[in-house]
């Protein structure tokens, strides 16, 4: 077989994965309203894509305050827990594993989404950044609105968010997930604490790199204590700076965080890598350094070809390879790679975010 490494089984903290293909988290905004509740259509979508050894769900808000975009699902109500059970049962029936991604957007929100002022490490508005709502636009399209100015979090807010991450993790395990991924990437709340340009605090959560990783580490430690280290992963995005997150110190900060996460013995670090054509590439020396500082599973997700994924595993720089849009339009993506078959293209960009039907969601064909 051409891609022997990609098709090898893998042991992720006791979860036996049937291959090294990971379906990456992708926001699709298909939850039922009111209540942002996962539903049978979402269960069908994930079940179709359980050809991946591991699925990471779309980002899932841990509270109404943590929500930044319309119709994204939550993990803080009983109705949401019951909805997610449809998803986990369907995926497990097809022999795959699934982790839920725990999400708080921080300052990347608007009162037009959830009726609340955003919260953040500092009262700094993200420049040139929007979120979306659905207000009857043509084709059911999302309407983008600017983010609001956030409120600087008091210590009580920090303590409350940590508790929400813990409760979200417990709820995810109750819903049948094999583990949880703490979303510390892409300019959202935890990433806002990590970066010197968005975190101007002068208390123990700001200033030095050691202080700026404190929020991430406290959340991770609390989640590990609640559900177990083998069920806890963390997503980071060292080379992504959109949402007004350009920080000259971020690489050193991420590496410091990796060392601290290694001490907590979490299941994995998931590198979110840019997937647009002219995006910055993660240099090889960063991967080598990360492998030296973190001795558990490393996941790389970006616009990688199977050849690139195979080589990264061969070089022992990563263990699992995440694919996003390839799985979106090709639910049987691993089989297509194995057969060197044609790939479905995304049929309609209008269906990427939102919509309550199968169109552009569960109607992509499998190989015949």
pTM here? 0.98
Catalytic positions, please? 188
Nearest to 147, CA basis, from 207, 198, 202, 100 = 198
Residue 22 β-bridge partners? 54, 322
Report how far apart, in Å, the C-alpha atoms of 104 and of each of 34, 193, 283 are. Answer: 19, 12, 29
- What is the distance between the alpha carbons of residues 352 and 72, in angstroms, rounded to a whole number? 13
Structure tokens at 302: 């970006």
Domains in the chain (CATH in brackets) are 10-351 (3.20.20.70)
The pLDDT of residue 1 is 77
- What is the distance between the alpha carbons of residues 133 and 110, in angstroms, rounded to a whole number? 9
Residue 203 near residue 158 (C-beta atoms within 8 A): no
Structure tokens at 63: 């509270």
The pLDDT of residue 368 is 87
The pLDDT of residue 100 is 99
Residues 6 or more apart in contact with residue 225 via CB below 8 angstroms = none
Per-residue pLDDT tens listing for the chain (368 residues): 799 999 999 999 999 999 999 999 999 999 999 999 999 999 999 999 999 999 999 999 999 999 999 999 999 999 999 999 999 999 999 999 999 999 999 999 999 999 999 999 999 999 999 999 999 887 778 899 999 999 999 999 999 999 999 999 999 999 999 999 999 999 999 999 999 999 999 999 999 999 999 999 999 999 999 999 999 999 999 999 989 999 999 999 999 999 999 999 999 999 999 776 666 678 899 999 999 999 999 999 998 999 999 999 999 999 999 999 999 999 999 999 999 999 999 999 989 998 778 999 999 999 98
Sign of CA dihedral 150, 154, 156, 162: positive
Q: Tabulate helix, strand, coil % of the chain (nearest 5).
A: 35, 15, 50
């Amino acid at each position: 077989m051409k891609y022997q490494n990609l098709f090898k089984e893998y042991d992720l903290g006791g979860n036996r994965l049937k291959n090294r293909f990971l379906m990456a988290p992708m926001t699709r905004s298909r939850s039922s309203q009111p209540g942002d509740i996962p539903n049978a259509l979402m269960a069908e979508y994930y079940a179709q894509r359980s050809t991946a050894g591991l699925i990471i769900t779309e980002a899932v808000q841990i509270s109404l305050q943590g929500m930044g975009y319309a119709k994204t699902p939550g993990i803080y109500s009983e109705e949401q827990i019951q909805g997610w059970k449809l998803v986990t049962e369907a995926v497990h029936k097809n022999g795959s594993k699934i982790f839920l991604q725990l999400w708080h957007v921080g300052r990347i929100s608007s009162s037009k989404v959830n009726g609340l002022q955003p919260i953040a490490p500092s009262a700094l508005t993200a420049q040139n950044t929007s979120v979306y709502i659905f207000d009857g636009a043509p084709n059911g399209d999302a309407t983008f609105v600017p983010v609001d100015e956030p409120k600087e979090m008091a210590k009580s807010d920090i303590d409350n968010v940590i508790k929400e991450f813990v409760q979200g993790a417990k709820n995810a395990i109750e819903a049948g997930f094999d583990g949880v991924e703490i979303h510390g990437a892409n300019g959202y709340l935890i990433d806002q604490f990590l970066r010197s340009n968005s975190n101007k605090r002068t208390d123990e959560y700001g200033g030095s790199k050691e202080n700026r990783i404190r929020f991430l580490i406290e959340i991770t430690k609390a989640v590990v204590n609640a559900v177990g280290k083998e069920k806890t992963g963390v997503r980071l995005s060292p080379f992504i700076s959109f949402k007004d997150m350009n920080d000259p110190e971020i690489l050193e900060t991420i590496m410091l965080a990796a060392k601290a996460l290694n001490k907590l013995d979490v299941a994995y670090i998931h590198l979110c890598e840019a997937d647009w054509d002219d995006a910055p590439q993660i240099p090889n020396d960063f991967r080598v350094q990360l492998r030296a500082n973190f001795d558990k599973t490393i996941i790389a997700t970006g616009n990688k070809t199977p050849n690139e994924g195979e080589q990264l595993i061969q070089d022992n720089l990563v263990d699992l390879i995440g694919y996003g849009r390839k799985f979106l339009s090709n639910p049987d993506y691993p089989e297509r790679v194995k057969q060197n078959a044609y790939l479905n293209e995304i049929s309609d960009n209008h269906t990427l975010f939102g919509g309550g039907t199968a169109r552009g969601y569960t109607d992509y064909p499998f190989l015949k």
